[in-house]
Amino acid sequence: MNNVVVVGASLAGFRAVEELRHQGYDGAITVIGAEPHLPYDRPPLSKQILSGSWETDRLPLTPIGKDVADLDVSWRLGVAASGLDLGARQVDLADGSHVSFDALVIACGAGVRTLPGQPELAGLHTLRTLDDCLALRADLDATPRRVVVVGAGFIGAEVAATARQRGLDVTLLEALATPLQRALGDAMGAVCADIHRDHGIDLRLSTGVDGFDDDGHGRLTGIRLSDGTTIEADVAVVGVGVAPNTGWLEGSGLTIDNGVVCDETCLAAPDVVAAGDIARWPNGLFDEVMRVEHWENAQQQGAHVARRLLGHLDAYRPVPWFWSDQYDRKIQLAGRSSADDEVQVVDGSIEERRFVALYGRAGRLVGVLGMNRPRPVMEYRQLIAAGTSWEDALAR
Ligand SMILES: Cc1cc2nc3c(=O)[nH]c(=O)nc-3n(C[C@H](O)[C@H](O)[C@H](O)COP(=O)(O)OP(=O)(O)OC[C@H]3O[C@@H](n4cnc5c(N)ncnc54)[C@H](O)[C@@H]3O)c2cc1C
């Protein structure tokens, strides 16, 4: 292997490059990135950068103890990969050029979903990239009165919290009966709902969007709701989830099914690996084919696939983990959780909003949710990795 191409200049791709060099690979590396920027961190986009407490110079990803230049990468930024010819070992780019490889890392992440028929209007935003964030921040700076966030998933909830902390009037719309219902279940979703209400958010649950109103000159003025009412809005953010960026891989021969499907080592085809938000692989620890949209996974899986290309054959079996910051609450979830799991608070209390809740399924501990309780989350995470039974976890 002497010529590695990475598609996606973000966290998973960056960590793959870093690990290749760390492991002593000294061949060529080309990174292709659709955005014009060198790799940067996304979590602050809904938190510190959006609030204005950080400037963008804190975002770039850097290798530990080194400069980016030390990685000796040929960057092809601002141009998307548009096709893959596996037989010829070649990536086609949107500018008509081609890049050949003898090993390929697919790390092109996920892009935002939009609502059916969602128009392009000034004041109407989505949030995935630095440019999205700066456009939204500029609109929030322009003293809007009314901000509406559509979708109370983690990104929507964080944007609502940040806008509220900037002193703006915020309405948060959610089509389901509680925020984060699919991720956390009803009981824990209800806790999150109360937190938003206590901070003065106008939270409207079981409420969908029928359409958007504008002033006739392309600027958003309001949102029509499924209950027949309309709310006025100067700025709106649609946060209804993401979809893996697989379009350019259609017809390539790779298996595409809600992501790039890999084996348990993250190999998608000979000398082709996938990592981060784009990758779907069987995680033997959970007996589940999963795709994970969290920062830590992108980082770890990026490093894992680098080692995979260098001949390490270990299965990738992490206990996924993520955090979300909303107001002064730090929410962390390790493992898997779903609306159908058994849920039990084992430490602290919901009233104090400082607690640990466990998720059990089929007699096994599968997840742990902590609110302002980071250390127990990490302890239970180890128990999840060890395959601890639900009974034993509760008996601790
Ligand atoms: C606003 C925001 C806040 C977040 N906060 C948290 C948090 O608090 N905690 C947490 O755990 N996670 C958080 N995340 C999720 C985390 O940032 C992602 O899981 C992580 O960025 C995934 O990394 P990735 O490298 O797999 O993909 P991405 O970061 O999505 O990067 C993929 C890159 O590939 C590029 N690309 C796409 N298609 C092509 C193509 N055809 N050719 C070339 N390049 C292409 C994209 O433009 C992008 O730059 C947040 C995400 C966002 C957007």
Residues 14, 302: Cα–Cα separation, whole Å: 7
Secondary structure (3-state) at 348: strand
390 pocket-lining for ligand 1 (C-beta < 6 Å):
no
In DSSP notation, 275-321 reads -GGGEEEEETTTTEEE----HHHHHHHHHHHHHHHTT---------E
- The tens-digit pLDDT sequence of the chain (396 residues) is 999 999 999 999 999 999 999 999 999 999 999 999 999 999 999 999 999 999 999 999 998 888 999 999 999 999 999 999 999 999 999 999 999 999 999 999 999 999 999 999 999 999 999 999 999 999 999 977 899 999 999 999 999 999 999 999 999 999 999 999 888 888 899 999 999 999 999 999 999 999 999 999 999 999 999 999 999 999 999 999 999 999 999 999 999 999 999 999 999 999 999 999 999 999 999 989 999 999 999 999 999 999 999 999 999 999 999 999 999 999 999 999 988 899 999 999 999 999 999 999 999 999 999 999 999 999 999 999 999 999 999 998
Residues 380, 130: Cα–Cα separation, whole Å: 34
Nearest alpha carbon to residue 356 among 348, 310, 196: 348
Pairing of the two strands 3-7 and 103-106: parallel
Provide the 8-state DSSP code for 202.
E
Q: 333 alpha carbon to ligand 1 midpoint, in Å?
A: 19
Residues 336, 321: Cα–Cα separation, whole Å: 9
Instruction: State the alpha helices, DSSP H only, in the chain.
Output: 11-22, 48-51, 130-141, 154-165, 181-198, 295-309, 374-385, 390-395
Longest dimension (CA), the chain: 63
Closest residue by CA, ligand 1 atom 53: 128
239 pocket-lining for ligand 1 (C-beta < 6 Å):
no
pLDDT at 64: 84
Pairing of the two strands 90-93 and 98-100: antiparallel
43 pocket-lining for ligand 1 (C-beta < 6 Å):
yes
Q: 251 alpha carbon to ligand 1 midpoint, in Å?
A: 24
Q: 9 alpha carbon to ligand 1 midpoint, in Å?
A: 9
Secondary structure (3-state) at 100: strand
Nearest alpha carbon to residue 120 among 13, 183, 214, 202: 214
pLDDT at 263: 98
Residue 286 has a CB neighbour count (10 Å cut-off) of 19
Q: 230 alpha carbon to ligand 1 midpoint, in Å?
A: 33
pLDDT at 339: 85
Q: Which residue has the tokens 């989350």?
A: 377
Q: Which residues contact 216 (CB under 8 A, 6 or more apart)?
A: none
Residues 316, 318: Cα–Cα separation, whole Å: 6
Closest residue by CA, ligand 1 atom 14: 43
Name the residue of 32, 112, 277 to mutate for ligand 1: max ligand atoms within 8 A of Cβ: 277
Q: Which residue has the tokens 């601890």?
A: 388
The pTM of this model reads: 0.97
pLDDT at 144: 76
Closest residue by CA, ligand 1 atom 16: 295
Cα angle, residue 21 at apex, residues 110 and 39 outer, rounded to 5°: 35
Q: Which residue has the tokens 């466990």?
A: 358
Which two three-digit tokens encode residue 218?
């392309």
Contact 152, 324 (CB under 8 A): no
Give me the residues paired with residue 232 across strands.
222
128 pocket-lining for ligand 1 (C-beta < 6 Å):
yes
pLDDT at 182: 84
